[in-house]
Structure 1
């Protein structure tokens, strides 16, 4: 059996899916785009989008009872692979700020994302 994760600290899904699912000791988040939970706006700035997404993932992971250090894998989808240097700075700072290990990661350039977002990230975490 699995539990659906929902937190008001992250934006509501824009389609028929859950923010995340927890089954036994594994949590998988749905792909998060940078929808600001307060005003539903997506910034045009890739750095701000990355910050918002990582904060939303943190809120979903913590709602499940896990922590940032429990994240073992992330997948990043970007519309402009040449923006990865800027994303990497925010990504690295996020994990260092939480004294967390860097998880395994995949990054893929895509032609389009929902709501014209520039980046989407999902996460897998395992409770130790």
Structure 2
């Protein structure tokens, strides 16, 4: 089995269950689903879906940077929304973080998310 290394960025939101924010294995970084939690306050960010999506992506970026990577190395993203009516706002915010060639992405509507969130974003990153 390949070596697995937990990636826990300094100042990151505390996990709400027994998992690592990121796990490096086999040259890839698997970033656990990130909620729109501001690490400074431990609370959801205020604002609309765009603000929440941006915070999720900042949290993904913090995990990536703790592993020595950044968002330009993301190969796959999965976005979970509780309402696909929020897709356009999420997509606009998402576009602020990525440039072509864009990562592969799936967006899935779900019945519910942890802590009552309406968005969660996970990613797979190719490590340098």
Q: Do these two structures clear the TM 0.5 threshold for a shared fold by scoring above it?
A: yes
4+ residue runs of structure 1 moved beyond 3 angstroms? none
Q: Residue 74 of structure 1 corresponds to which residue in structure 2?
A: 77
Unaligned runs of 5+ in 1: none
Paired residues in the alignment total 125
Give the superposition deviation at 1:66.
1.3
TM normalised by structure 2 equals 0.91
Comparing both structures, which one devotes a greater share of its residues to strand? 2
TM alignment of 1:9-88, pairs within 5 A:
9-42=11-44, 43=46, 45-88=48-91
> Secondary structure at 1:29's aligned position in 2?
strand
Give the superposition deviation at 1:51.
0.7
Comparing both structures, which one devotes a greater share of its residues to helix? 1
Give the superposition deviation at 1:77.
0.3
Q: Is the 8 A contact 2:8 2:63 kept in 1?
A: yes
CA–CA distance in 1 between the matches of 2:101 and 2:15?
A: 28
CA–CA distance in 1 between the matches of 2:11 and 2:77?
A: 20
Q: Residue 106 of structure 1 corresponds to which residue in structure 2?
A: 106
CA–CA distance in 2 between the matches of 1:9 and 1:87?
A: 25
TM normalised by structure 1 equals 0.91
Give the superposition deviation at 1:44.
5.3
Unaligned runs of 5+ in 2: none
CA–CA distance in 1 between the matches of 2:48 and 2:40?
A: 17
Q: Residue 119 of structure 2 corresponds to which residue in structure 1?
A: 119
Q: Is the 8 A contact 1:76 1:107 kept in 2?
A: yes
